[in-house]
Structure formats: structure tokens, C-alpha cells
Structure 1
Amino acid sequence: MSFNTVFSAAKHHSKLQIAGFVSFTFFGYLGIGLPLAVLPIYIHKTLGFSEIVAGIVISLQYISTFIVRGISGKLVDTRGPKIAVVLSMSGFLFSALLMFSAFGSEADRMLCLVLLAVTRLITGCAEGMIGASPINWAMLVVGEKHTATAISYNGIASYGALALGAPLGVLIAGHWGIAYIALWMAVAALAGLVVAVSKKAITGNFQAKPIPFFKVFRLVAPFGICLGLAGLGFGGLSNFITLYYDHFNWSGAALCLSVFSILFILGRLFFANQINLRGGLRVAFFCLITEMTGLAILFLAPHPHVALIGAAITGLGFSLVFPALGVEAVRLAPASNAGAALACYGLFIDISLGVTGPLEGTVINIFGMKYLFLFCALVLLMGVIMVWKLMQQKK
């Protein structure tokens, strides 16, 4: 047997191991994706609240995710990723059961809204725990040299789950009623919990002394800010695309989310290796330009078919931003802070998605729904400029 054959087999085995760990991300984000295309319309149309209220309720998830990320990173570095994953799956399960109660309280619209808000907060806590935990678990097993692959596969799992969950949620709500979405969320969380409990716990054994959390935060901040700017484009699409389509009397908003997610997955599958070949900053620079182009097409789209093209280009552009900048950010921290570094880095996407609802909801109220994606494209331009400056500093 040749060396190349052995190397290829080992590489394939590592990829399978990584896929096994990031399956937890799939279970979690399937639960997040199921109500994604239904909940904004439900809050605005069925319960009768404004777009700003709908945006705030949706964004509550990202606020609690932001708070929990740091706790999760420290927990992973000190006690291992398994406990974080188990806590995450338990949180998703509890959130699903509470959402079922919220939908059952529809007659009292204020009570229903409060329960949905609490549900989003719990979902955010669960997302904060699952965020980087599967990546760290995979890195502890297959080695740090597979960091880019682990981050890429984790993103495929998350956005693949969103691509499946969004249209599936619309289908479930249309055929059986919106309450059944919560039941399917519970099934996904329970499946993830069972698999997590069955896996072997593992912790790192690093010689280097961990550095303080806030020092890690400062190290990764420049890369995280660029990620956060890119996240505003994704947040605008995921949070408001159903209302955007409704504004123009278009149909197929869930398909738009799916097209975004499919191109996101294809981008990671076919181009992830470019990060190792060309460097994270260079890849991130071209990805941000691509995402900005897709958002501009969404703004100019005269009908939903062109909007689908814009969503596809946006998804392709956003696909490698997280791993490309993430690889650069994690390299700055010692191995003993790998969990904290990924958690700190992930905080910026949480901040981004957390402010998306109120910020872009305000933009919509002041300038009109039509200008949502123009605003997103201008924000991406700021990200392009920042990454260009980071490239010059590195040279």
C-alpha cells in the first residue's frame, strides 16, 4: 500500500470523524431553522405586532447567544466540549416545549408574544453552547491541522439545517398547523441529546498557561468585526426576507432562504481548501465582495426570480467568511485558549445578528422595505475596506 493511499484514507477518516461531531450543530440548527420563515409573519400578521417588534423578538435569540458564548468557551477549555453539547441539546428541547405552549396561548396575544420572547432567549442560550463546541470536540480528536475543515463542516451543518428547516417549517405549518413545528423541534433536540450522551468525553491536555478571556477577545476583535459586518447581510436576509417578499406580493420566501443556504454549502464544499492555499484574509476579501454583489442584486431585483439569483450569490459570498477569518483569528491564541478564541470570535456574529432586528427594522421604518438590502450592501462595503486594511498590515 502506497503512502498516498494511506494518507488519503487517514484524511477521509478524519473528515468522517469531523462530520460525526458537527452533526450536533445540524440537530441544533434544524430546530432554529424550522420556525425561521414562519415566526416573523406569525408575530406580525397573526398576532398583529409591528415589524420592529417582530425583529426584536427574533433578535432576542442572538442576545442570549452572545452572553452564553464566553461561558461556553471557558467550559470547553476547562471541562471539555461534551458537557456544553449536552446542555445545548437540553436547552433546545426545553425551548421547543415552551414554544408549543406559546402557540397554544394564541388567544391572548400578549402572553403568546412573551412566551415566544422567552423561547427565543432559551434558544439563544442553547445556540451559544453548541456554537464552537463540536468544532473543539473535533479538533481534540483529529488535531488542530484540521481546524479549517472543522469550521467549514460546522457551517455546512448549520446552514444545511437552515436550508432544510425553513421550507420544512412552512410545509408543516401549512399542512398540520404551526404548533407542530415545535414538536419537530423537540424531536431534533432529543435526537441530538441521545447521540451526545453516547459519545466519549474528552478534554485538552495543554502545557501552555491560558491567557485571560478579554485578552483573547482583543486578539480576535479585528477579524470578528469584519465577520460581524458580513453577518448583517445574512441577518437581513434571514430575518426579513419573508416580510420583504410580502411587501412586493411575491411568493417563495422560504425558497430564497434555501437557495442562500444551498449555495453557502456548495461554497464550503468546493472552495474551503482555498483558505489553506491562498490565506484566510485574501479569501475573506473576495467573499465579502461577492456577498455585497448579491445583496445589491437583491435590492435591484424587479421580480422574485432575480431575487433568487441575488440570494444565491449572497450565500456563495458569505460561505467562507467565517472559516477564512476564523483560521486567522484562532492562530493568534495559544492552544489552551482554542475554545475561548472560537467563542470570542463567534461573539461578533452574535452581536451582528442581535442588532440586525432593531437596526434593520428601524431602517425599514424610516426608508421603506425597498431599501433594506441597499443598507446591507453598504455595510458590506465597510467590511471589504477593513479586510483590505488587515491584508496590508499583515504584509
Structure 2
Amino acid sequence: MQTAQNAGVSLSKVRATIAEFVAFTFIGYFTIGLALAVLPYFIYHDLGFSTMTAGVVISLQYITTFLFRGYAGSIVDKQGPKPAVMMGMIGFAVSGALLVIAYICKGFPALSLSLLVITRLSTGFAEGMIGASPINWAILAVGDEHTSKAISYNGIGSYGALAVGAPLGAILHHNFGMSAMAGLIMVCGITGYYYAKGKTPLKSTSTAPRQPFMDVFKIVTPFGICLALGGLGFGTISTFITLYYSQLGWQGAVMCLSTFSISFILGRLFFEDYINRYGGMKTAIFCLLTEAIGLAILWQAYSPHIALAGACIAGFGFSLVFPALGVEAVKLVPASNKGAALGGYGVFIDLSLGITGPLVGLVESTFGMAHIFMFSMVMVFTGFIIAVLINNWQRKGEMTLR
């Protein structure tokens, strides 16, 4: 077990220390949010490609995120989180520069789309490098006993950033063009790089032998599968909500995404202690069921107001899924593999968001836009069933430290 750098200090000091590192997550996901509400519309309306193409291009980001999660975890365990965070910020800056060029080339749709593909891959690399790195940096600073708090606050940073970034990106695109939004992404990446460069590097002092990444990955896989199914709800909302609203002739698609994110944040702020109080698995079971209910409401919504209510319930449900399952997964690995465990566990949310675009796009093209939230509801409910099974296995002692 690591010793907190500032052990014994007040809870407010712990929160402030965690916030210093969660800031990196906020910067990264703010840049992701800036593009999130703009690119599907740009690909579909400005470049003239299909909904399926828009979904695939948006989801390409998660391929490189998936590939670099494990690499980032290895860097964190061997060198500390600082190098991984700095590389991630460089990736965001590069993605902003490429996005500017893609916008300039919009008169040549094939070329612009090709540049967008490279942009999404660069963004995915950046997200993979910062995904679990700020969490590990925070845990190294405040101690293992605050793991759930660090994971929870990191999620607040990511979804809070999406809630702010998505509408701001849409505003910048509407008033100044996509180049203004892309320029802001560049500035955020450069700012994050220099902020990370000035922070004190921290590294685990655990002497426990490190396990191979694939061994760690196998341990966290049951929890990760459950997380991936839960993530399909968020992936469907974030990728398709603008097109969903557009087809129905509704206004306020960005507000739906922001409502999801705000509800998510409030769930993390006010109910994070429930993980320690009731256990990670019980919390995850409740949250996945709640998320499925919210998606069912979105599926059946006959007005934007009902859709907002569904997004709110789904956001609240999804709020504690990642930390609740993450705490249970990390318990099963040595301290020397914590970075790899969080990185490997995080792979599943990247996988989830990565397949959401093409998978839900296929559902839309086959059955129609009206069925996308029915599909995601079924997937999240499947995650709920798996969480119940994992909880039963744990109670019978069938899942132990290997």
C-alpha cells in the first residue's frame, strides 16, 4: 500500500489535491467535448456523408484510445503519471491543428474526411494517455484509501468538461466556424502540457512484483465487460443525439447531452460515499438498472422535455458505474499494478464508446433512428444482469486475488 503524501490532512485538502490532478482530465475531455457536438453534423451536412460514416469516424478515436490505455498504464507503473499526461496533452494540441486543416479542406470532402480520421486517431492517442493517469497521480498524492474518491472526481472532471465543451463547441462553430473551435483545442493542449510540466512527478514506491499486463487485464475483464455495456448508453447519447433530435425536428440536442453530464456530475458529488457504504457491486447494480430506465424513457419520449428527463435519469444511473466497478477491480491486483489495472479497466469504456458508432449506426440503418435507444437500453440491462452475477460470485468466494 502507498502512503499518502499528505496523509492526515483534512478532507477538504484531500479534495483540493485531487482537483489539481483532475484538472488534466478536465482539459482533455473539454477538448473532446468541443468537437463532439460539431463533427457528426459537419460530416453529415457539410461533407455529405452518411450517418453510418459519421458514427464510424467519431468512434475511430476509441481505437487508439484502446490501444494506448495499456501502454499508458505501463508508463505510470514504471515512470509515474507525469510523462503519460504530457504526451496526452501533445496529442490534443496536434488534433486541434489537424482539425483546422480538415475544415480548410471542406471543399474536398474525401480529403477533409481523411484528415478527420487522422484527427480522431490523434485524439484517441491523447485520451488513452491521460485516461487513468490523472487518477493514479491523485492516488499517489492522497493515498490508496481515497481511491474511490479520486476515480469519482476524475469522472466529474471528464463529464463536467463534456457538459461545458459540447455546447461551447456548437456556439463557436455556429458563430465563428469550426476553425475557432479547433484553435481552442490547440490552446487547451498546449496549456495542459505546460501545466503538467510544472507539477511534481510522483511514482509508486511499492516493492511488490509486477504482474504482466495481460494477467492484470484478465482479472479486471469481468468488471470491464459490465462497464462496457453500461457505457453504450452514454455512447449512444453522445454520438447520435444531435442526429436523433434533427430527424424528429426537435431543438436543443446539445442541452440533452449537457443534462446527461450535469446529472452524472451531481450523482458523483452527492452519492460517491455510497460505494464505501454499500460496496461497489451493489452500487453498480442499482446504477445500471437506473441507467436502463432512463434509456427506456428516451426511447419512448414523445417530446424534447421527456427526452431531457430520460437523459437526466440515464446520466444519474451511469454516474457511479465506473468508480463502483473500478474499486472492486483494483482490489484484486497488487499495488505495483494499480496503473495497469486502471488502464486495462479503462480499456472497456473505450471499447464500448468505440463500437457504439458503427453498432448503433447499423441499428439505425436497419431498423430506423427510433430504435437506437431501445437497443442501448437492452445492452445496459444486460450489464445489470452481469453485475448481479458478479456480485453472486463474490459472495460465494469464487472471485479472489490471483
Please state how far the C-alpha of 1:186 moved relative to its aligned partner.
1.2
Residue 35 of structure 1 aligns with which residue? 35
Residue 351 of structure 2 aligns with which residue? 351
Residue 123 of structure 1 aligns with which residue? 123
Residue 236 of structure 1 aligns with which residue? 236
Residue 388 of structure 1 aligns with which residue? 388
Residue 317 of structure 2 aligns with which residue? 317
Residue 332 of structure 1 aligns with which residue? 332
Query: Where does 1:137-216 land on structure 2 (aligned, <5 Å)?
Result: 137-216=137-216
Query: Where does 1:41-190 land on structure 2 (aligned, <5 Å)?
Result: 41-190=41-190
Please state how far the C-alpha of 1:141 moved relative to its aligned partner.
1.2
Q: Deviations over 1:3-27 (max 9, x none)?
A: xxx9995221111000000100000
Q: Aligned partners of 2:38, 2:248: CA distance in 1, in Å?
A: 17
One-letter code of the match for 1:217?
Answer: F
Q: Is the counterpart of residue 20 in structure 1 residue 57 in structure 2?
A: no
Q: Which segments of 5 or more consecutive residues in structure 2 lack a partner in the other structure?
A: 1-5, 396-402
Pair 1:9–1:78, CA change in 2 (3 A): closer
Q: Aligned partners of 1:305, 1:187: CA distance in 2, in Å?
A: 36
Q: Deviations over 1:282-309 (max 9, x none)?
A: 0000000100000000000001110000
Q: Deviations over 1:84-137 (max 9, x none)?
A: 000000110011011111101011110000000100000000000000000101
Q: Which segments of 5 or more consecutive residues in structure 1 lack a partner in the other structure?
A: 1-5
Q: Aligned partners of 1:78, 1:247: CA distance in 2, in Å?
A: 49
Please state how far the C-alpha of 1:191 moved relative to its aligned partner.
1.6
Q: Aligned partners of 2:7, 2:32: CA distance in 1, in Å?
A: 37
Q: Secondary structure at the match of 1:35?
A: helix
One-letter code of the match for 1:382?
Answer: T
Residue 379 of structure 1 aligns with which residue? 379
Residue 400 of structure 2 aligns with which residue? none
Please state how far the C-alpha of 1:181 moved relative to its aligned partner.
0.6
One-letter code of the match for 1:24?
Answer: F
Please state how far the C-alpha of 1:40 moved relative to its aligned partner.
0.3
Question: What is the aligned length?
Answer: 390
Moved more, 201-210 or 327-336: 201-210
Q: Deviations over 1:197-227 (max 9, x none)?
A: 0001111111100011111011000000000
Q: Aligned partners of 1:142, 1:381: CA distance in 2, in Å?
A: 35
Q: Does the aligned pair in 1 maintain the 2:220–2:341 contact within 8 Å?
A: yes
Please state how far the C-alpha of 1:368 moved relative to its aligned partner.
0.2
Q: Aligned partners of 1:189, 1:211: CA distance in 2, in Å?
A: 33
One-letter code of the match for 1:391?
Answer: N
Please state how far the C-alpha of 1:174 moved relative to its aligned partner.
1.0
Residue 3 of structure 1 aligns with which residue? none
One-letter code of the match for 1:261?
Answer: S
Q: Aligned partners of 2:304, 2:351: CA distance in 1, in Å?
A: 30
| Percent identity of equivalent pairs | 54
Q: Aligned partners of 1:106, 1:393: CA distance in 2, in Å?
A: 54
Q: Does the aligned pair in 1 maintain the 2:7–2:143 contact within 8 Å?
A: no
Q: Aligned partners of 2:307, 2:9: CA distance in 1, in Å?
A: 42
One-letter code of the match for 1:263?
Answer: S
Please state how far the C-alpha of 1:394 moved relative to its aligned partner.
1.4
One-letter code of the match for 1:184?
Answer: L
Over the aligned positions, Cα root-mean-square deviation in angstroms equals 1.1
Residue 399 of structure 2 aligns with which residue? none
Please state how far the C-alpha of 1:229 moved relative to its aligned partner.
0.1
Q: Aligned partners of 1:27, 1:67: CA distance in 2, in Å?
A: 21
Q: Aligned partners of 2:383, 2:7: CA distance in 1, in Å?
A: 38
Q: Aligned partners of 1:244, 1:330: CA distance in 2, in Å?
A: 37
Q: Does the aligned pair in 1 maintain the 2:7–2:142 contact within 8 Å?
A: no
Pair 1:114–1:217, CA change in 2 (3 A): same
Q: Does the aligned pair in 1 maintain the 2:22–2:134 contact within 8 Å?
A: yes
Q: Secondary structure at the match of 2:76?
A: helix
Please state how far the C-alpha of 1:189 moved relative to its aligned partner.
1.3
Q: Aligned partners of 1:213, 1:307: CA distance in 2, in Å?
A: 41
Q: Aligned partners of 2:200, 2:38: CA distance in 1, in Å?
A: 37
Q: Aligned partners of 1:125, 1:7: CA distance in 2, in Å?
A: 34
Residue 252 of structure 1 aligns with which residue? 252
